[in-house]
Amino acid sequence: MDSSGQKYQDYKTLLITIGAPWYQAWWVIALEVLAAMSLIWAIIWMRTKAVSRQKDKLKILISERTKELHLAYNKERQLNARLAEEIDQRISFNRALVHELKTPLTPMIATSELMVHLYKDEPIRGFAGNVLDGSLALNKRIDELLDVAKSETGMLSINKRKMNLSKLGQDMYTYLLPRFGNNGVHFSYDNGGQEVFINADKERIKQVLLNLLDNAAKHTKTDDTVVLSVWQEASQAFISVKDSGEGIPKEQQAAIFETYTSAKKRLTKYDGLGIGLYLVHKIVTKHDGTIIVKSAKGAGCEFIVTLPTGSKG
């Protein structure tokens, strides 16, 4: 518009074009993509190399460990073979030893028994009785040593059958009553009027009773009491041997079921090798049972055996 308000008849148009920034140029973008791809490739290559190196290290480590395990296996196999050989030798030696000891002992027992029955006059009858008692005690020790060897090698056998525990208790009472009576000890048996049956090895349970009662005989004196009891509660059978003897000190009770405890920690009247209670514990354990002791020095002692009445194994 001019000053008079008229439009200019003659004018020109100026076209200005603004281009994109240089960093948005195609060649810049292409370089950026190429750089990113190169970086990704470099990372992948470095990771691959690292994994490869780690894999090589693992191969070497596995190889070394395999060699060590192979050597350890061979060594263990040699030790097991040597141990098995030593166990076989020990078993063979013990059997041979038992045979050699029992061979001369058998006629001694038979002869002394015959002399006790034939000779009624003293002192010959007393001498024969001493020989018989000594021979029977030695025979018992030999059997115990063999059983210890069997238990230590896992060969202590248990043949379970249904048996009358009450009847066995009565038999043991009748058998040992003269021994306790001769020592002035009051011995009694109580089964509470029950007939208790268990599934067990009769000879082994008899061995348990003999050892526990023998232990009571060693630690009682004139006018003391020993009570053998058998009873049942639910599916559990119980055997108790209780005496009013010298008792066992608290600090020694934890070790009484170990082998040779009597020799290592001798009490006032303990004799033998101290393997009787060890065998009792082993036999009871083999029957899936337990044994505990309740005692104090000078306050008597009670051994309580618990056995399952049902069939196992």
Is 8 exposed, middle or buried (CB count within 10 Å of its CB: 0-12, 13-18, 19+)?
exposed
Average pLDDT over residues 86-112: 76
Is 276:144 a contact under the CB 8 Å cutoff? yes
**What are 26-84's pLDDT values in tens digits?**
777 888 888 889 889 989 989 888 888 888 889 899 988 989 998 998 898 888 888 87
Average pLDDT over residues 14-24: 68
For residue 225, the model assigns a pLDDT of 94
Q: Would you say residue 313 has pLDDT above 70? A: no
Is 302:293 a contact under the CB 8 Å cutoff? yes
Q: How many residues does the chain have?
A: 313
More confident position, 114 or 209: 209
More confident position, 25 or 131: 131
For residue 12, the model assigns a pLDDT of 64
Average pLDDT over residues 128-140: 82
Q: Would you say residue 143 has pLDDT above 90? A: no
For residue 268, the model assigns a pLDDT of 41
With bands split at pLDDT 50, 70 and 90, how would you rate the model's confidence at 13?
A: low
Give the chain's mean pLDDT.
82
Rounded Cα gap, residues 267 and 101, in angstroms: 29
Is 91 exposed, middle or buried (CB count within 10 Å of its CB: 0-12, 13-18, 19+)?
middle
Statement: the pTM of the whole predicted model exceeds 0.85? no
For residue 174, the model assigns a pLDDT of 92
